[in-house]
Amino acid sequence: MTSTLLQRATTVRGESDGRVSHLVVDVRIRDGLIVAVGDLDPLDGETIESLDGYVLLPAAVEPHAHLDKAFLSERISNPTGDLLGAIEAMRDNRHLLAVDETIDRAERAARLMATNGFHSVRSHADTTTEHGLRSIEALVDVKQRVADVIDVEIVALCGWPVTGPDGADQRALLRAAMQAGADVVGGVPHLEAGGPRAATEFLLQVATDHSRAVDLHTDETLDPTVLGLVDLAELVEAGFEQPVTASHCVSLGMQDHETQLRIARRVAAAGISVIALPHTNLYLQGRGHSPMPRGLTAVTALREAGVTVAAGADNLQDPFNPVGRACPFETAGLMILGAHLLPHEAWSAVSNESARATGRPEVAIVPGSPAHLVAARASTVREAIAFGPVDRIVWRHGSRLVK
């Protein structure tokens, strides 16, 4: 097949002492892979693209989205601005949400993510007794519609309760969702009235029964007494064999540093990945608190313990977050400001850490790597994150996406 030569691209290189440098190189792409990097001469018939003045980065992975809720801000309001207010707003307005209109909004969001530099998105889909399988059906359709520009992975976001007699219908619905096309088991154990452990056990069992990964909304609260993450780590260490991701983990950020490290080591030992979600958690958490906490998980302690810490945007212009641009540079910038990551660390959090957390291929500017790439007009990764340039180019499997 005809190859593509990206000339004079500025790439990012991590040094052994933790610093980062930038190197201008040529990159050759063939058959969806990077096949050569260095000072390269063009081949006969090769497509040549000049990236002089662009920084070339691994394309991003959105590890936690809610495509089924995207762009609902003008239709469903959240007057209180907090998490429970958003949940109640969605519950009260389920009658407005049909499969067809959900497909339209979700497809718009997914295509925007693709043009902004994401090659994959994991989206949670509301799976509640009030809503049924509408979100699952919509995202299964969207997954096919956008397959040429972005990979969509669907998490069945199980409602509550799932335990006891009152949870029978919800339990059956989750199993139906797995048959209807959901890829991953999800849920919110910390909202279970009897505590998170029994709900977590059930969700892990469903994942075992279907040989699927698990991604749980975990401890999305500032209440330091809520630590379902510990239950999750214990249950996974007891013998659960599928990949596990814990999203949010906000209450971990409210612990003292020693407690954070102790729990983080357990999470690392269990092989659980954690997803920080600065957009939505900074918006929803901390209202009425004085002093006001950041509402983020303990990123530093988790990273120190060796946990894979990814970063995502969560909600996109809906009752849980009225803003957002579906842009990885925006998420990376918030991780710099909110979690004190260095710029190259922040980009790794939205690209390769997110890929690792969701089981996607990691990308590096080296021969043999998948050619999922994004180039932005900037001289450094810091500058690219700071400006989030509109002038950017995206390659998926080595093919340039047309905006």
Q: Is the peptide bond before 63 cis (omega within 30 degrees of 0)?
A: no
Measured CA to CA, the distance from residue 339 to residue 336 in angstroms comes to 6
Strands laid side by side in the 60-65 sheet: 60-65, 118-127, 151-158, 184-187, 213-218, 244-248, 273-276, 309-311
Over 90: is that where the pLDDT of 3 sits?
yes
pLDDT at 16: 65
pLDDT at 1: 63
pLDDT at 31: 95
Q: What is the pLDDT of residues 293-336, one digit of tens each?
A: 999 999 999 999 999 999 999 999 999 999 999 999 999 999 99
pLDDT at 165: 95
pLDDT at 304: 97
Q: What is the pLDDT of residues 183-221, one digit of tens each?
A: 999 999 999 998 999 999 999 999 999 999 999 999 999
pLDDT at 259: 98
Task: Look at residue 347 and give its three-state secondary structure.
Answer: helix
Q: What is the pLDDT of residues 116-132, one digit of tens each?
A: 999 999 999 999 999 99
Tokens 């998980």 appear where? 297
> What average pLDDT is seen over the chain?
96
Over 70: is that where the pLDDT of 56 sits?
yes
Give the mean model confidence (pLDDT) for residues 358-375: 97
Domain residues of the chain, as ranges?
4-58+363-400, 60-358
Q: Does domain 4-58+363-400 have CATH number 3.40.605.10?
A: no
Give the mean model confidence (pLDDT) for residues 5-10: 98
pTM higher than 0.85, yes or no? yes
CATH class of 60-358: alpha beta
DSSP assignment of 132-163 = TTHHHHHHHHHHHHTTTT-EEEEEEEE-S--S
- The fraction of the chain above a pLDDT of 70, given in percent, is 99
pLDDT at 355: 98
Give the mean model confidence (pLDDT) for residues 137-149: 98
Over 90: is that where the pLDDT of 63 sits?
yes
| Strands (E) located in 219-296 | 244-248, 273-276
Residues 174, 127: contact at Cβ < 8 Å?
yes
Give the mean model confidence (pLDDT) for residues 155-175: 97
Q: What is the pLDDT of residues 216-273, one digit of tens each?
A: 999 999 999 999 999 999 999 999 999 999 999 999 999 999 999 999 999 999 999 9
Give the mean model confidence (pLDDT) for residues 77-102: 94
pLDDT class of 14 with cuts at 50, 70, 90: confident
Rg of the chain taking only CA atoms, in angstroms: 21
**Beta-bridge partners for 45:** none
Which token pair is 269? 């030992």
